Structure 1
Amino acid sequence: MEHTGQLSPLGNHTTLVEFILIGFSDVPKLQGFLFAIFLIIYIVILMGNSLIIMITKVDPSLQTPMYYFLGNFSFLEICYVSVTVPRLLADLCRQNRSISFVTCAFQMDIFLTLGATECLILTAMAYDRYVAICNPLMYPVIMNKRLCIQLAAVSWIIGIQVPIVLIYEIFTLPFCKSNELNHFLCDVPPVVQLACGDTFMIETLISVLTVSNITLPFGLILGSYGKIISTILKLPSATGRAKAFSTCSSHLIVVVLFFGSCISVYMEPKSTLSSGMNKYLSLFYTILIPLFNPIIYCLRNKDVTVAMEKFLQKITTVN
């Protein structure tokens, strides 16, 4: 495929002005099948997470901090997939998969903002469970409405700020290699791999941001769950232990899946692993985790299951 570019005034290199998203064009016979699969997954994600948002708003039994954060997380999941999947679906139907630098930078910025915010919302959810189980008498006082709103707002504010410097540094790099991104979105690792300048500083910045915004929150969550599990095991009632585990297990499953896949991709932004492997790992946290979120919470959380059944019954009765 021909490079698209313009001559740089600083030398004889060709400075690229757009990328080509290879996506899944390397499996041409599966384009139709993949389109159908990703479209179904996208619809399920939108419906499942929208349903969670609605029931956490209208069901009186779910008017608690835990479900306030779950509603926020579900909203983030909808935004998260909407940044990537519509573009992926469009690319599966066309030959021209070019994306301009500006559009690529914009997609990367929104994608990283939502991802960083999700990390912090998941951390806030872990703190909520920690207070609820390890300090139940003070729970209503500590996890008041004001603190919940503040935690959600701070998560968004930090999430918005995280990618600003990174995006600037990445898109001021010289790109004089192939303009083909072996990916379905403008993610950090595949773009950095195409840079031909010195990327040591930017790789260091990516590693620092990964540690501060992914690894550190993940460590705090695991530490919280260490305390939570220790407290649960000390409960005298088997019923109490089972109920406590049921409210935590769904969140912990989502945490491990989301953070595990993110860390494996971002800790080495220019690793020697194949870019194809990164592409499929990215599928995991960009599409599969948002799909698993409503499924896990419906199957593992009795309160959500009961509230969803009541909500669907009410809609059916009205219709």
Structure 2
Amino acid sequence: MVTRNQTQTLLTEFLLLGFGDLQDFKILLFIVFLIIHIMALTSNILVVALVVFIRSLHSPMYIFISQLSLSEIIFTSNIVPNMLWLILVGGGKVSIARCIFQFFLLAFPTVAQCLLLASMSFDRYVAICKPLHYATIMTFGQQVRIVSSCWLVGFTASFILYVLLGSLQFCGPDTINHFYCDISPVVELSCSKNPSVELVTSVLCFPLVVCPFMFITSTYISILHNILKIPSTTGRQKAFSTCSSHLTVVCLYYGSLGSIYIFPPNKSSFNITKGLSLLYTLVTPLVNPLIYSLRNQEIRGVINTFIHL
């Protein structure tokens, strides 16, 4: 701690409680969460590696999938190792600087992923609704611009929030009843209330989270309308299959994201909040690559080829 004006003590650390109420099961939780984390990390790294090194997967859809997996790698690597440490020690202290940086590494891939999911819906829209123009619209240069923009916007928005949170001062209390540093509990603990933090968060949330979801919804309405006009049953089934994996991931991702940030449970329901956060930070990064690999014949074919070598 440091002292200001001889009267007010400023904090330099937060206490993360983690899963303190489940310490009787800490070994079991640690093993289960570690296994899920290793599986999630391995499957996402595998997807990125396949798309990078297999020439047949150098198409827009798979490039977007690899970027989605890359965002999951950053996201889960930021949250889960520290969570496992908190489980073993029954909660622990973290410096305020590190806590705020953890939020930055949480927000960065989250925003990028929202924009990547919207970009993937645009790719599916062009493929189904404008198939004759697909090659001219989704050129390699266009893919690079789209992907770079998603990451750049995600970094910029997260860095703005990082700077604003870094300007806050904390006098106590110092306890966060969670297993990672999120923006809401950090702002609540601040003794130098800065309304611009919440204002900027709200302003950024609409174009970077809500608007991509609205865009995805509108593109799939158009896609559905065009699919229903396909005369053959086989053609409709093929068109649906190209979108089902992406739509499943969108529902899972925005469902978990919305339950935490857009329609959060009551602040007194800490166990519910932690459970939803576990779904968002641990389960979703594992399920996403499995959905793409298990439901995609080309990726399954490449994996089977490597297995039988």
Fold agreement, TM-score > 0.5? yes
Tell me which residue corresponds to 1:89.
84
CA shift, 1:269, in A, is: 8.3
Tell me which residue corresponds to 2:39.
44
Contact 2:114 2:208 survives alignment (8 Å):
yes
Q: 1:161 aligns with which of 156, 159, 162?
A: 156
CA shift, 1:151, in A, is: 0.7
Contact 1:16 1:179 survives alignment (8 Å):
yes
The 1:263/1:13 distance shift into structure 2, 3 A limit, reads farther
Contact 1:182 1:275 survives alignment (8 Å):
yes
Number of equivalences: 309
The 1:51/1:170 distance shift into structure 2, 3 A limit, reads same
Contact 2:18 2:90 survives alignment (8 Å):
no
The 1:89/1:284 distance shift into structure 2, 3 A limit, reads same
In 2, the alpha carbon distance for the partners of 1:252 and 1:275 equals 30
| 1:99 match: secondary structure | strand
In 2, the alpha carbon distance for the partners of 1:188 and 1:277 equals 18
Tell me which residue corresponds to 1:212.
207
CA shift, 1:199, in A, is: 5.2
In 2, the alpha carbon distance for the partners of 1:311 and 1:85 equals 29
CA shift, 1:281, in A, is: 2.0
Q: 2:222 aligns with which of 207, 221, 227?
A: 227
Tell me which residue corresponds to 2:2.
6
Listed one character per residue, the Cα deviations across residues 257-311 of structure 1 (whole Å, up to 9, x for unaligned) are 2123223333478974534433322222221111111211123222322222223
**Mean CA deviation greater in 275-284 or 252-261:** 275-284
Residues 1:21 and 2:16 aligned together: yes
Listed one character per residue, the Cα deviations across residues 61-119 of structure 1 (whole Å, up to 9, x for unaligned) are 42210001111111221121101111111222225611101111211112211111111
In 1, the alpha carbon distance for the partners of 2:98 and 2:70 equals 23
Residues 1:251 and 2:246 aligned together: yes
| 2:88 match: secondary structure | coil
| 2:89 match: secondary structure | coil
Q: 1:279 aligns with which of 253, 274, 278?
A: 274
CA shift, 1:13, in A, is: 3.6
| 2:2 match: secondary structure | strand
Identity of aligned residues (%): 39
The 1:177/1:276 distance shift into structure 2, 3 A limit, reads farther
Tell me which residue corresponds to 2:177.
182
Tell me which residue corresponds to 1:240.
235
**Mean CA deviation greater in 163-172 or 213-222:** 163-172
| 2:20 match: secondary structure | coil
| 1:236 match: secondary structure | coil
Runs (4 or more) in structure 1 with deviation over 6 Å come to 268-271
**Structure 1 unaligned residues grouped into runs of 5+:** none
In 2, the alpha carbon distance for the partners of 1:243 and 1:53 equals 25
- Normalised to the residue count of structure 2, the TM-score between the two structures is 0.92
User: What amino acid is the match of 2:100?
Assistant: A
In 2, the alpha carbon distance for the partners of 1:270 and 1:308 equals 40
CA shift, 1:197, in A, is: 4.4
In 1, the alpha carbon distance for the partners of 2:116 and 2:181 equals 24
